[in-house]
Amino acid sequence: MDTLELIRALPKAEQHIHIVGATRPETLLWLMEESGRDAPFENLEEVERFFQYSDFDHFISVYSMVSKFIVDEGQFERVTYEMLEDDARCNVRYVEASFSAPDHVRQGLDYGLMVDAINRGVRRAREDFGIECDLRIDLVRNYGPDYGMEVLNWIEEKGDNVVAVDIGGSERGFPPEPYEPVYNRAREMGLHLVAHAGEAAGPESIWGAVEKLGVERIGHGTSAVKDPDLMAYLRDNGVTVETCPMSNVRTNAVPSVREHPVRTFYDGGIRVTVNSDDPSMFGTDMNNEYVQLHAQLGFTVPELFQISLNAVDSAFLPDEVKMRLRGQFHEEIERLTGDA
């Protein structure tokens, strides 16, 4: 088995993937037809051209347009199942999938029915591929902390398979600090805490997330590299950075994979994971993310395996489940490499 085959065969876990952003192009065409709404594309080639972005704000506008094509709660079952099927092809064994529920509720869909449909997709994927999946709810920072409190009410009423909350959306103009009361309540509810930060804003956004929100993981976090004190804080306090290299390149958050700070994070002792974010919209998957780190940044197979273990160790799973999953990963790497 050559190195690239070995990298693709590595057991993996994914912490940062958006359900809508994983919608296959052919499924997007189906959603468009089902919605009866006009769309800016008619075939797969046009979808691929549509998924080209000038910057992060442009990407957000495209993502929002795709969201509007989902007009029936039951459609989430297919989208979720296909997302997990694609991850399973990359030997991903555990996924924490992000669901931006407010986007769809504000368009008239029912939160509970959507969660039910997503979990039907999760159960089918578990039965067919052996992949496990939990959910985190993106409060969507654009709508404000009062709306975030309302989303927590939804989760209290129906939190099936929901393990965490997050704030995604437009980072510039919507800093994390106003969400402190929302995150305090989420913590009291027993939910884990994540925030998108430092992707489209500077280190101050990450500082706000760790100091005011008390997050356990940071989504993206690319700008942390500009602040040595922040780097030391993330390392010393065990805050995991969910890196998404190809996403950051595609939205021009970083110029190239070679210039992505994931290597600096890793070498600096920060616990990093690698994720596909919005794989269909960025033309990537977990295998490609790992291969790019090897090809562009010199990550070795043992280092990439450590990144897989990082994702297990920082997963929002009970300790006994993490121990079992870690053992399975070690058995798999031993089988692949012949190492004890």
Judge whether 204 lies within some domain. Answer: yes
Judge whether 340 lies within some domain. Answer: no
The pLDDT confidence band at residue 339, using thresholds 50, 70 and 90, is low
Judge whether 243 lies within some domain. Answer: yes
The mean per-residue pLDDT over the stretch 327-335 comes to 96
Judge whether 268 lies within some domain. Answer: yes
Q: How confident is the model at residue 338, as a pLDDT?
A: 81
Task: Report residue 214 CA to chain centroid gap.
Answer: 19
Confidence check: pLDDT of 35 > 90:
no
Phi, psi of 121 (to 5 degrees): -65, -40
Q: How confident is the model at residue 120, as a pLDDT?
A: 98
Active-site residues, by number, are: 199
Q: How far is residue 293 from each of residues 7, 156, 266, 298, 333, measured CA to CA in Å?
A: 10, 39, 11, 6, 18
Residue 281: CB partners within 8 Å, gap ≥ 6? 21, 51, 59, 62, 63, 66, 250
The pLDDT confidence band at residue 59, using thresholds 50, 70 and 90, is confident
The mean pLDDT of the chain is 94
The mean per-residue pLDDT over the stretch 192-216 comes to 97
At 47, list the tokens.
Answer: 């979808």
Q: Which domain holds residue 74?
A: 3-335
pLDDT, greater one: 200 or 147: 147
Give every strand in the sheet of 132-138, ordered side by side.
12-18, 92-99, 132-138, 162-166, 192-197, 217-220, 240-243, 272-274
The mean per-residue pLDDT over the stretch 235-258 comes to 96
Q: How confident is the model at residue 242, as a pLDDT?
A: 98
Half-sphere exposure of 160 (CA within 13 A, CB side): 13
Nearest to 190 by CA among 154, 211, 210, 162: 162
Q: How confident is the model at residue 54, as a pLDDT?
A: 64
Judge whether 78 lies within some domain. Answer: yes
Judge whether 212 lies within some domain. Answer: yes
Q: Are 98 and 20 in contact (CB under 8 A)?
A: no
The mean per-residue pLDDT over the stretch 52-61 comes to 73
Confidence check: pLDDT of 60 > 80:
no
pLDDT digits (tens, 9 = 90+) for 305-321: 999 999 999 999 999 99
At 186, list the tokens.
Answer: 């989420």
Q: How confident is the model at residue 37, as a pLDDT?
A: 77
Confidence check: pLDDT of 103 > 60:
yes
Judge whether 144 lies within some domain. Answer: yes
pLDDT, greater one: 332 or 281: 332
What pTM was estimated for this model as a whole? 0.94
The mean per-residue pLDDT over the stretch 131-150 comes to 97
Confidence check: pLDDT of 66 > 90:
no
**Domain CATH code at residue 195:** 3.20.20.140
Q: How confident is the model at residue 47, as a pLDDT?
A: 75
Judge whether 330 lies within some domain. Answer: yes
Domain count, the chain: 1
Confidence check: pLDDT of 340 > 50:
no
Confidence check: pLDDT of 41 > 80:
no
